[in-house]
Amino acid sequence: MNAIVIARDLVKRYGTLTAVDGISFEIQKGECFGFLGPNGAGKTTTIKMIHCVSPVTSGTLIVNGLPAHIDNRAIKMLTGVIPQEITLDVDLTVRENLAVFANFFDISKRDAKKRIAELLKFVELEEKRDRKIDELSTGMKRRLLVARALLNHPKLIVADEPTTGLDPQAKHLIWQRLRQLKTEGATLILTTQYMEEAQQLCDRIVIMHRGKILKQGVPTQLVAEEIGREVVEIRIGQDEDEKIIGHLSAMSCGHERVGDTLYFYCRDGHDLMKKLVELNLPSYLSRPATLEDVFLKLTGRGLIE
């Protein structure tokens, strides 16, 4: 058995609100597993149960062979958490932040010193080691959160929207580091709203909505199965829909109207584009299908066929 996390009919309720509604999944050792979903989908709640800071309402959740439970220190010992919010200790310097956390994991002073030096190098914060937290940029703070999560050499790394609010440089640095950790054998669990992030990092994903898993699979396969290869967007008023759809009905592409845009999802968009040129429409474009299309299709409006 190679699964590090096994969830069966996992439920989480806060009072009358059901945040996670009977989901089942397995996360294999060494993979990067992503939870995607809009705000309030239940992703953060799910991973909080995995890393044992939120109790399970019902169902089973096994992490590294142990039942997940808020008092399960053994699971916490082997987990590193990169939180969504910047929860650094603002009263302390960069190095003190790491030293205090190393202490929490029972790491000896001497080992901690060595590990902290390694990690500051890993996240490129060596120069800032004696700075206070307020003096760091958001990107630096997030990198420090990554370093903090790695102090205990975690087997399981849980990252909750780790690149929120970062500029592209900072974002790519974090992605590189996370990929590097995976190649070193760690299992990575990620939640994100950025489809690009999921495509960059995840081997497998689940798309969550209103506490349920709508789909799970390999990102590229999900795109191919759910959308096809290409998406054609036509910016045009709704009153023209019937006419255009009539013209394009032979192309066997799915279509959807969202706001001011009519979308066509195709295996091959060539013929459709030719037809559009013939129709001489004012504004349209063809682009490769992405995970974002899958996401919007599943969590937004249903496909009209």
Partner 1 sequence: MNLSYRVAYVFFRNLVSYKRFVVPTFLVSLIEPLFYLITFGIGMGAYMGYFGGKPYLYFLVPGVVVSSVMLSSTFECLYGTFVKIVHEKLYDSLIATPVSAEDAVAGDIAWASFRGLVSGSLMIIVAVFMGIFPVSMLSLLLLLVLMIFVGILFASLAMIITSFAPSFDFFNYYTELIITPMLFFSGVFFPLDRFPPWMKTLSQFMPLTHAVKISRAVFSGSINSGLAINFLVIFVLEVIAFAIGLKTMKRRLIK
Binding site for partner 1 (CB under 8 A): 14, 51-55, 70-71, 73, 76-77, 79, 81, 83, 85, 87, 89-92, 96, 99-101, 103-106, 148
Shortest distance (Å) from residue 71 CB to partner 1: 5
Minimal distance in Å, beta carbon 289 to partner 1? 37
Q: Please give the Cα distance from 96 to 251 (Å, whole number).
A: 63
Residues 109 and 90: their CA atoms lie apart, in Å, by 22
List phi, psi (to 5°) of 226: -85, -30
Element (DSSP H or E) covering residue 183: helix 168-183
The residue among 56 and 166 lying less far from partner 1, judged by its C-beta, is 56
| Minimum separation from the CB atom of position 59 to partner 1 (A) | 17
CB of 81 to partner 1, least distance (A): 4
Q: How far apart are CA 209 and CA 296, in angstroms?
A: 11
The conformation of residue 89, written as its DSSP 8-state character, comes to -
- d(CA 286, CA 253) in angstroms, rounded, equals 13
Task: Please identify, using beta-carbon distances, which residue of 83 and 139 lies nearer to partner 1.
Answer: 83
The per-residue DSSP string of 129-197 comes to TTSBGGGS-HHHHHHHHHHHHTTT--SEEEEESTTTT--HHHHHHHHHHHHHHHHTT-EEEEEES-HHH
Distance CA 189, CA 63 (A): 12
For partner 1, give the closer residue by CB, 97 or 216: 97
Sheet strand arrangement including 58-63: 17-28, 3-14, 58-63, 66-67
Nearest-approach distance from CB 89 to partner 1, in angstroms:
6
Identity of the residue, 103 or 176, whose beta carbon is nearer to partner 1 in the bound complex: 103
Shortest distance (Å) from residue 154 CB to partner 1: 11
Nearer to partner 1, 4 or 52 (CB): 52
When the beta carbons of 100 and 281 are compared against partner 1, the nearer one is: 100
